[in-house]
Amino acid sequence: MMGVLLGIARHAIVKGPMEAISEAEITFAGGVAGDYRGAMKGKPYKRQVTLIERGDWVAAMAEVGHTIDWIERRSNLLVDGLDLPQVAGVRLRIGADVVLEVTRETDPCERMEALAEGLKAALLPDWRGGACAKVIAEGHIKVGDSISIEE
């Protein structure tokens, strides 16, 4: 099964605004280059890159009756056409070079409730809030790249 990378976003400072970008370097040291969260210290750091499925975000928006841009979820990568694995240890390949390993579910925080009443709860079932991952192989990604589960 193969999906497509629909969006890339990052934020340079804690609680700073998200910036949508069309391409990015993915590194061991910083996750999505220029993203505050990817450069966090600590070993092993399990939240270098966050991913969310377009369909899950759309479903959550329908549940709360809003239309809010996906970057407000504060995820780094928006994917479509691929059911993100809901188990730690599964590896995802993006484009030709980048490999990420799912580490855990991305827990929705109170910031989601500030965006829309009920959004935090709408993101809780079935990892709808997304997945956290660590970088296994560095490289360059761009919107439109393929994303698949590595066998």
Residue 129, C-beta contacts closer than 8 angstroms, at least 6 positions apart: 52, 56, 73, 105, 106, 107, 108, 112, 123
Q: Which pTM was predicted? A: 0.93
What CATH number matches the domain at 2-10+19-149, 3.30.70.640, 3.40.50.200, 2.40.33.20, 1.10.565.10?
Answer: 2.40.33.20
Taking only the tens place, the pLDDT of each residue in 88-122 is 999 999 999 999 999 999 988 778 887 888 998 99
User: So where are the chain's domains?
Assistant: 2-10+19-149
Taking only the tens place, the pLDDT of each residue in 7-45 is 999 998 888 889 999 999 999 988 999 998 887 666 666
Query: How would DSSP label each residue in 14-52?
Result: TTPPPEEESEEEEETTTEETT-TGGG--SSS---SEEEE
% of the chain surpassing 70 pLDDT: 96
